[in-house]
Amino acid sequence: MEFPKDLKYTKEHEWVKLEGNVVVVGITDYAQDSLGDVVYVELPQEGVGVTKNESFGVVESVKAVSDLYSPVSGSVAEVNDAIVDNPEVINEDPYGDAWMIKVELSNAGELDDLMNADDYQKFIEEEK
C-alpha cells in the first residue's frame, strides 16, 4: 500500500495536496482497499462551501456507504466529474486520476492539523 510523502492525511482517510492556495482532496489507498469495488460517488457542486470535518460527499461500494469528510474549510473550486461516471478509478488510481475536489482554503492554519505520511501509516496500523 502506498502513501506518497508529498501528501497530508486525515483520520477519516482522506488525502490532501497543497497547490498554492488550493488543496486537492481524495481518499487514500487504504480507504479504497477497505471499501472494495467503488460503484458510486457523490460530490458537491462547484462553488459551495465545505467545512473541516464535515461531510462533502459520499462514496459507495456494493455493500458499504462512507461519508467523505472535508480535511479543510473553504469553497469548492473544482470537482472531478470524471470519477462520477467512472467510480472504478477510485480503486485504480486513488492519488492520481481519482482526486475528488479542489478547495480554495479559507483558513490555511487547518493544514497543520493533518498527518504526514509516516504518521498516517502508523495510525492505520493501530486502527487495524
Partner 1 sequence: MTINRTTGLSPLKARGDMLMDEPLIFERSSEGRPGVLPAAPDVPAVDARKFIPEKMLRDAIGGFPQVSEIDVVRHYTRLSQWNFGVDTGFYPLGSCTMKYNPKINEAAARLSGFSMLHPYAPEETAQGALQLMYELQEYLADISGMDAVTLQPSAGAHGELCGLLMIAAYFKGIGAMRHKIIIPDTAHGTNPASAHLAGFKVVPVKSEANGVLSAAAVEAAMDDDTAALMLTNPNTIGLFERNIKKIAAIVHKKGGLVYCDGANMNALMGLVKLGEIGVDVVQFNLHKTFSTPHGGGGPGSGPVGVKKSLEPLLPVPRIKKSGKKYSFAYDRPDSIGRMKAFYGNFSIMVRAYAYMRRMGKDGLKRASEIAILNANYIRERLKGHYQLAYDTPCMHESVFSDKLQQSNGVTTLDVAKRLIDYGYHPPTIYFPLVVHGSIMIEPTETETKETLDRFIDAMKAIAQEAKTSPELLKNAPASTRVGRVDETRAAREPILRWKPKTGI
Partner 2 sequence: MPYIPHSEKEIREMLLAVGAASIEGLLSSMLPAGVRDKKGLKTLHEGISEQELSGALKGLAAKNSPAGELSCFLGAGAYNHYIPAAVDALISRSEFYTAYTPYQPEISQGTLQAIFEYQTLVCQLTAMDVSNASLYDGASAVAEAVLMARRITGRDKVYLSAALHPEYRETVRTYLKGAGDHVYDILFCTDKGTTLAGAVEKAVGDDPACLVIQHPNFFGSLEELEELAALIHRKKGLLIAVTNEGVSLGLLKPPGSSGVDIAVGDLQSFGNTIGFGGPYLGFMATRTEFIRQMPGRIIGQTVDKNGNRAFCLTFATREQHIRRERATSNICTNHGLCALAASIHLTSLGSAGLRELAALNVSKANYLKEKLSGVSGATPGFSSPVFNEFTIKLGGDVDLVLKGLLKKGVIAGVPLKRFYPQLANHLLVAATEMNSKDEIDRFSEELSKILT
Which residues in this chain contact partner 1 in the complex, by CB under 8 A?
A: 36-37, 39-40, 60-63, 87-88
In the numeric block, the cell 488525502 is attached to 15
Longest dimension (CA), the chain: 37
If the CB atoms of residues 33 and 40 are measured against partner 2, the closer one turns out to be 40
CB of 100 to partner 1, least distance (A): 18
If the CB atoms of residues 58 and 82 are measured against partner 2, the closer one turns out to be 58
- Residue 93 touches which member of partner 2, partner 1, none, C-beta under 5-8 Å by kind: none
Cβ proximity of 83 and 20 under 8 Å: no
**CA–CA distance, 11 with 114 (Å, rounded to integer):** 8
